Amino acid sequence: MAKPLDIDIPERSKAGKTSFNIRPKKVEQWLGDLPRANLGETARLLYDALLNVNQTIYSYQDRLRFLESMREPVQYVTESLKKHFVGASYPLPIKNQKIAAATREIQLTMAVGYKIAISDILSSSFLFIDKKLLAMLLHRAITYYGRTLLTSYQIYAPCAPKVWLDLHKLYSIAESRKVENQPVADYQRIYVERASINAEYSRTLLLALTSPYKLRQGEVSKIYFTLERWTQHCQLDSIDHYRDRQHGYFAVMLNRDAPPRSLAITMPEDCDPQQCRILNTESLAELIRNEIQETEDLGNTTISSIELSRPDLSHDLLRRLLVAWGMETKRSFSRTHKQEKVEVAIGLSAIHKHISRRKNNKQSDIYNNTAQFESTIIENINEEKPDIWNMVYPTELPGLAPLVEEEINLATPEDKNSPTSPSYQQGTWTIINESAGGYCLEYRKGNSAKAQVGELIGIRRKNGNIWKWGIGVIRWMKFSSTRTLRLGVEMLNPDAAAVGVRSRGSHAKTEAWQRTLMLPEIPAIRQTASLLTPPAPWRVGNQIIINILGKILPVQLTSVTQCTGLFSQFQFKLINLEHAEDNTQDVSGHWELDKDFAKIWSAM
């Protein structure tokens, strides 16, 4: 049997005694008997049935009827399985890896089933083909390949081989049969029930262009579903429609097993006109600019992407999408390969604890007493009161699944009785390359590291004769089947001080200090001092007091540099104490603005 346009399909044999019975009544009875309360067994039965049918010869009509009846249980199982790997700590435990792999295999097997039906319908007639039916088959196959990619992005894993090549081939078939713009109904879509093959294919292309390994957990799913409404604002054309612009134009190579690339990387002269398409996102970028402007008109907020269950996209995420789809960013600094072991702490609380604990470190080397920062442990920080971190991310409330983790947990069983909380233990990572802007860190199996994109990370390195905690942000994350986790870290500052902050005024008399990091000024690059705080409750314009070495410093937050939903970075200005009342009975004094502020960093 000929394979149209070189579609790869599995070898099939005639139905026998061990073949799955796909007669409608038998399938209906079989689906009704599925033990849905036992999710693992249901997933296994579905996968075995799909695999069996994909290896058996049936008419494309019978195959289509069977696959359509399987869509609802497959949707139920794959969505239910996601709770085992979306929002989990990384590297994923072996069990969670297997669950994620099973989810992808079920989705991939559905795509292959529709691909077999496409091959059969194209081989059945040279004169007349039901274009409406062909369009539905192509739409379904592209949809399930897209969901396979989505699952890979959700676990920060590489995409399965040939998925992109198959996607491109399916779209090529749609173009050659002139059905790429045929609307297809899909009740599993959320916002737009009827969409064309062009729209579904463009949705997958746009998702890949978001740099999904740089997205926080939960963000890639939000974008995937939002794209149902946005694909109408982009155009997929032949290379003849390309205008000499770099921003907002992306090359799609139909003969390669690869996602789209910016035309700043793949130039038009490298594209075969028959095998190259241009994705134009100019109109989509303009739409996002307008949405950003509308949110700014309604008022700024420093909270970003905290509530992962909300369907809307945060202001911060919209800005990142504008960069992804509207302009091409290039690497600012060259990378240098190396192998260096470093100590790492993840999360604002963990970093604060380690910096605060320096003066009690009994394992310091002989140089650690030179120009070392010491910090007074802030009062009330360890009291049995609700932590602001837990107020934002209530992961310990009974019956509430942990959505977000902000701290590192690398304690072994022997550490359980240690006076040091396991939540603040350090982990040993390896720097595999570095640049002036940051590092690529690698972490191999052995312990459990809780990392996620957008989180603060502290890296302890030796600067001359002094050990310092450099502060960075995790910008991307990739996880392999060997349980190796790689992080891309953008460094914010090579040093930091652990301080506490709270509101100014008499109303704050009983308010507990909140863990905060102060980053020093870097005059060489004109970087001012800043504060790293929890994502709530602070806003631009708030007046706060900072507890530094037992003395207070009154400041006003003037602007927010970034807010990932896991932390906020504020610039600030100093305030004269004479103009407002402050409750400072629990500290030893004040920093005098004119005399002492320049001495703060040397004192610390």
DSSP 405-436: --S-----GGGGGSSS-GGG--EEEEEEEEET
Ranges in the chain, pLDDT < 70? 1-5, 126-127, 241-247, 264-270, 295-311, 327-334, 358-426, 445-449, 481, 506-509, 577-604
In sequence order, what are the beta bridge partners of 545? 502, 554
In a domain, 190, yes or no: no
In a domain, 409, yes or no: yes
Q: Are both 75 and 175 inside the same structural domain? A: yes
Q: Are both 390 and 504 inside the same structural domain? A: no
Q: What is the CATH number of the domain that holds 526?
A: 2.40.10
In a domain, 390, yes or no: yes
* pLDDT digit string, tens, across residues 497-524: 899 998 887 565 677 888 999 998 888 8
What domain count does the chain have? 4
From 434, 465, 493, the end of a domain falls on: 493
Q: Are both 295 and 374 inside the same structural domain? A: no
In a domain, 200, yes or no: no
Going by C-alpha positions, the residue among 171, 315, 359, 329 that lies closest to residue 253 is: 171
In a domain, 403, yes or no: yes
Q: Are both 229 and 318 inside the same structural domain? A: yes
What are the angstrom distances between the C-alpha of 257 and each of 160, 163, 164, 251, 260? 10, 7, 5, 13, 10
What are the angstrom distances between the C-alpha of 457 and each of 38, 350, 368, 489, 494? 39, 9, 22, 8, 12
Q: Are both 174 and 323 inside the same structural domain? A: no
Q: Are both 157 and 254 inside the same structural domain? A: no
**In this predicted structure, what is the pLDDT of residue 310?**
47
From 471, 493, 515, the end of a domain falls on: 493
In a domain, 217, yes or no: yes
From 459, 493, 527, the end of a domain falls on: 493
Edge-to-edge strands, sheet with 276-280: 235-238, 276-280, 249-253, 261-262
DSSP 593-604: HHHHHHHHHHH-
In a domain, 195, yes or no: no
Q: Are both 485 and 526 inside the same structural domain? A: no
**In this predicted structure, what is the pLDDT of residue 521?**
87
Q: Are both 52 and 133 inside the same structural domain? A: yes
Q: Are both 456 and 469 inside the same structural domain? A: yes
Domain membership of residue 587 as a residue range: 497-603
Quick one: 95 exposed, middle or buried, by C-beta within 10 A (0-12, 13-18, 19+)? exposed
H helix intervals, 55-194: 60-81, 94-124, 131-154, 163-176
Q: Are both 78 and 43 inside the same structural domain? A: yes
In a domain, 302, yes or no: yes
Q: Are both 410 and 510 inside the same structural domain? A: no
Q: Are both 384 and 325 inside the same structural domain? A: no
Tell me, what amino acid is at 100? Answer: A
